[in-house]
Chain A
Amino acid sequence: MRIEFKMEGGLAHFPGLARPVCIDSEQLSQEELVELENLVEKVRFFELPSRSAPPTKGAADYYTYTVTVKAGGRRHTVRLTDPMEDANLQRLITVLRTRAKALHSP
């Protein structure tokens, strides 16, 4: 499995944090890989619409995430904005954000 993750927006634009990252299953521990695979399955990632519902009118400073998952010969990209209602989707993004931040750190 391979995941591409990009985070934009928020209260400020930080060029360092907005850099896209690539998370390859080979870089992950067995435990991390199992959690990510489970979350991808639980949120039915490959069936998600390519864009989540647009933010409420007037909303501002929300994060937008672009996530591409390649696994088992399939590939799908979704664009999501905070806040998200699905707890598993929230967890997936939290895991990816944490991983991305670690990759951004020198």
Chain B
Amino acid sequence: MTGEANHRFIPIRCILPPHILRSIAEKGRPEQRTKALQTLATDGTFRALRAGMPTKGQAVRRRFGALAAEGEKQRTIFDAHSTQTLPGDVVRIEGSQPTGDLAVNEAYDGLGITYDLFWEVYDRNSIDDEGMALNATVHFGQEYDNAFWNGERMVFGDGDGDLFNRFTIAQDVIAHELTHGVTADEVDLTYFFQPGAMNESISDVFGSLAKQRVLDQTAAKADWLIGAGLFTVNVKGVALRSMKAPGTAYDDPVLGKDPQPAHMKDFVRTYEDNGGVHINSGIPNRAFYLSAIELGGYAWEKAGRIWYDTLRDSRLRPNSGFRRFGRLTVSNAGRLYGVGSAEQQAIRNGWDQVGIVIP
């Protein structure tokens, strides 16, 4: 076999600088656009691969991190064209103009507001804090009623149109999925029982904060709903979950009744749903809500900072449950705002009101 046969020569990748490729991606003929988008996305994928290599050592992590420009988003949206084949075709890249596809644009914007929350408020550069590329696939499957994080990318179905709208419709859902990536990078809370429910709650917290921030809402003004707008008019319900009042988001003949408890006395023991990860997350969700309300102002500033520092706390382990997470939030509140401060007491009160007493 000749060397030539082993190489696929792709001239567009070799010659053109990124700004020309971007221009082609926006203004070229359809086949030119496709090639330019694929080329730009491949470049981003390689950068993501470099940044995302499984390196545990902090020094090595920093070396790779130096390759990424801080504060620079790198979003790529893919279209699965109603198949379940990932990643799909590249349809929008960082800096390109909106397309005529609502789901594509919603995914792009949703990733942007989530990146901005983590970068501008918590000084975190993307999922891995190393500028990792943000990849999302839309139009996954046929009438697919879900959004998920597959360990590498966010995936969004279109919904069946009967019970569910497209899953990109809710900004907090997009932020929820991206936050799963952040959690996996920091502590990888085991996706089962209480650690799994804590994992889910953390995604709801930062999902809601991303939405509140883009809407410029204080804790008192926010609706504290997760996934508002996802249900069609056929469903008796307002959202997937309520952080303010767990267990009240829907009560529908087909979906059933929102099963979330709001207090430890109602904790659900089950093996379903990975041991109730989307059920018992209502308890820490409400603890966050109560703390944020007592603190007042914008929830992402104090309560969010305390939760974020706890997520990064080396004392948090993959098997940590509600009590350990709660204890660490109180500890971090003391470190940030002073032991015995009003802030620390607000956090303690939040947990106390859901039945988790932290001395």
Listed in ascending order, the chain A residues whose CB lies under 8 Å from chain B are 8-19, 55-64, 82-84, 87, 90, 94, 98, 101, 104-106
Contact = CB atoms under 8 A, between A and B. Distances in A.
A62 B148 CA distance: 5
25 contacts: A8-B273, A10-B145, A10-B148, A11-B173, A11-B227, A12-B227, A13-B279, A14-B255, A15-B259, A57-B184, A59-B148, A60-B149, A60-B177, A60-B199, A61-B148, A61-B180, A62-B148, A62-B150, A83-B86, A94-B141, A94-B143, A101-B162, A101-B254, A105-B254, A106-B253
Given A11-B147, A61-B146, A16 B180 contact: no
A12 B84 contact: no
Contacts of A56: 150-152
A98 B142 CA distance: 10
Sorted nearest first, the 5 A-B pairs with minimum C-beta distance are A58-B184, A56-B151, A16-B256, A15-B256, A61-B148
Given A61-B180, A83-B86, A11 B146 contact: yes
Residue from the set B173, B183, B191, B199 with the largest chain A CB neighbour count within 10 Å: B191
Interface string B126-159: 0000000000000011110111111110010000
A15 B257 contact: yes
Given A11-B167, A12-B278, A83-B84, A60 B148 contact: yes
A20 to B, nearest CB: 11
A62 B141 CA distance: 13
Interface residues of B, number: 49
Contact of A58 (B160, B167, B181): B181
A40 B200 CA distance: 34
A58 B273 contact: no
Contact of B254 (A13, A94, A106): A106
A102 to B, nearest CB: 10
B227 A14 contact: no
B329 interface: no
B252 to A, nearest CB: 7
Contacts of A104: 254
B148 A11 contact: yes
A71 to B, nearest CB: 25
B147 A58 contact: no
A14 B141 contact: no
A12 B257 CA distance: 12
Contacts of B252: 16
A15 B259 CA distance: 7
A58 B177 contact: no
Contacts of B257: 15
Contacts of B155: 83
Interface string B166-201: 010000010011001101110010010000000110
A86 to B, nearest CB: 10
A8 B279 CA distance: 12
B295 to A, nearest CB: 27
A9 B274 contact: yes
B151 A57 contact: yes
Contact of A60 (B83, B84, B180): B180
